[in-house]
Amino acid sequence: MSVSVFCVLVYTGMAALLDLRTRKISNTVILCGWSAGLGLWLGAQGYRGCLYWLAGISGTLLPGMVLYLLRGLGAGDVKLLSVSGGILGLRRGIRLFVAALFLGGLLGLAAVCRAGEGRACLGRMGNYIHGLFTGGKTVWPKGQGIKICYAAAVFGASVLLAVWEGRWLLWPK
In the chain (173 residues long), the average pLDDT of successive 10-residue segments reads 87 93 92 93 90 94 91 89 94 94 89 79 77 69 70 93 74 50
Question: Which residues constitute the domain of residue 106?
Answer: 3-114+149-165
Residue 125 lies inside a defined structural domain of this protein? no
- This prediction's pTM: 0.82
pLDDT for 132 equals 75
pLDDT of residue 103: 94
Whether 14 is in a domain gets the answer yes
Report the number of distinct structural domains present in the chain: 1
Q: Which are the contacts of 60, defined by CB distance < 8 A and separation ≥ 6? A: 81, 82, 84, 85, 86, 93, 94, 96, 97
How high is the pLDDT of residue 137? 62
